[in-house]
Structure 1
Amino acid sequence: MSNTELENYLAFSIKLAEECGQVIRDGSKARYHKSEEVKGNNNDVFEKYGNPTDLVTETDRKVEEIVRDRISKEFPSHKFIGEETVAAGIKCEFTDDPTWIVDPIDGTTNFVQGFPFVAISIALAINKEPVVGVIYNPFMNELYTAIKGKGAYLNRTTRLPLSYPHNPLPLPNLSHCLVLTEMGSDRSPSVIDKKIRSIHNMVAQPGQSNRSSGGGSTKKAGLVRGIRCMGSAAVNLCFVAKGNADIYWEIGCWEWDVAAGIVICQEAGCIIVNANGPDESPVDILGRKFLAVRGCSPSAGDTDAKQSQLRIVRELWNVVEEIECPR
């Protein structure tokens, strides 16, 4: 595919994201300016599959309908995978054909609560690889864009990472890392207990007492600088791409949560692999397990930055638990 075609897809995606960003802002205002008679009536917020931690709103559905309609008219031969389309029971097959992968509102709970880490995420995949990515946070007016091989940008002009053209210093070990993660919508004991233990291991210092194991010392310890949960996979990936955070680790998100962010991160020099290890091959977009490490310059003795990043990847794999996450 030519650079001109990719640039056209990017321009289309940006225009669409900004249009839908206004719809999201309007939807937020409507929620907070209801008449007194209907205030507190949340009948525009629905639980998916009866799960109160997995929400959808009428705005989610409206935005996805706009995106799907625009794409079908502009590129009728292209495929489409959208979060709400799949939730409605419509089968979406991921093939080598040009495929748009869309999350109309990533961070729906944030949207409902008025917490501003919310984004529309639009990606185009060709031969099952994301090649164009656009993420737009309409509340912070932050637009992240990338084309494979052409770099990643914030608000069109600022090249990512923010330190560009200089790469950030390499990460010596986990104790220098700020980690982004999420609790996720699956709160079953087999999942959430392991996530909590993994987070405990990330923040623990070696030899620290571990009550959950009967008071014995912690064998797995990362002593990371901090953990942050912002409620949006797309926003998390953008913060790693910028270099504001060092690692994003999540189990249980979907391709529409990460497809655009994968392009943006990779073009900002990040590495993205399986969140549980030990496979260091390129991340499986359908795998539901994602680990991103920010871009950096090589450590002393390394021939490239990837070796420095993989050392951090392996350190994190050593402290997190294996969590099954079927589709």
Structure 2
Amino acid sequence: MSNFFAGTHKRPTWRKQGVHEGFRQVGVKPHQVERLSRKWGAVLVPKCGWVRFRLSRPVPEGVKSYRVTCDRVGRWHVAFAHVPSPVPGPGDGTVVGVDRGVAVSAALSTGDLLKVPGLTPGEARRLELLARRLGRARRGSGRRARLRAALARLKARESDRRKNWVEQTSTMLARGFEVIGVEDLRIGGMTRSAKGTIERPGRNVAAKAGLNRGILAAGWGMLVERLEHKAPGRVHKIDPAYTSQRCSACGTTDREARESQARFRCRSCGHAGNADVNAARNIAHETRLGLVATTAGPAAAARGRSGSPGRTNREPQPVLLS
């Protein structure tokens, strides 16, 4: 509770079966962790003896503690407490903008479109079928327990693929670019339920729930969190206002320029392209302006601009297209 009132941790919760399964062991000695082969290791667990585990990565030297947990699928994991070294950047000053979305999980200013691999169509159909069967199963029955376990296995498969994508993408960005610009999004507020209260019920609750699931399935927060771990001090968060409405070629802000979810066409200069890539280039531009302002001081950032830094607002001008 002291950590909660200090503002460094969340409110403590009661332990729940199937969620908070596990324990932590401190004071680990070097001889209590062994490597058996290239893929397998063993750790000495008190009152259990030597327990083998699969090596997903080499165990670092000098670990002092580990935690053994069990997920909802029934898989046991052991995690050794260790702070890894940051991923070194290229050192060439390259800047990349990352625009996070639902249809495209991450669009880069270089033009690359990255998407989280979800369930296959067959797995999605099986997930829907299992959910229907679970709704008809009697509470407390063995059939319901088996259906819940099957659903948990599919959900864990989807979660594992998302985590693997986040790890690979964050490592690629941290290793390939010196500065990474992302939007400063309040994901908790964006995914808040819209059902409202009895006195003031919400509108379009089902559509908002679907959007919330899409945002959470894209791994927005996890991607930025891992980027900050692997590239500390190199991740810059910018104001997300008008990044999807501003043309990356001429700087004109026009809400009608985004013709669809994936199509952007500026009515002033005629620039057309992918809407997510256009937003990512605006993010990269804002990140460069922030770096210049930090290096040269506030006077250089405000010189020759009115309103918000790096933003040019003017009415769309007609152009002749050949």
The TM-score normalised by the length of structure 1 is 0.23
Considering fraction of residues, name the structure with more strand. Answer: 1
Structure number with bigger Rg: 2
TM-score, normalising length: structure 2 = 0.24
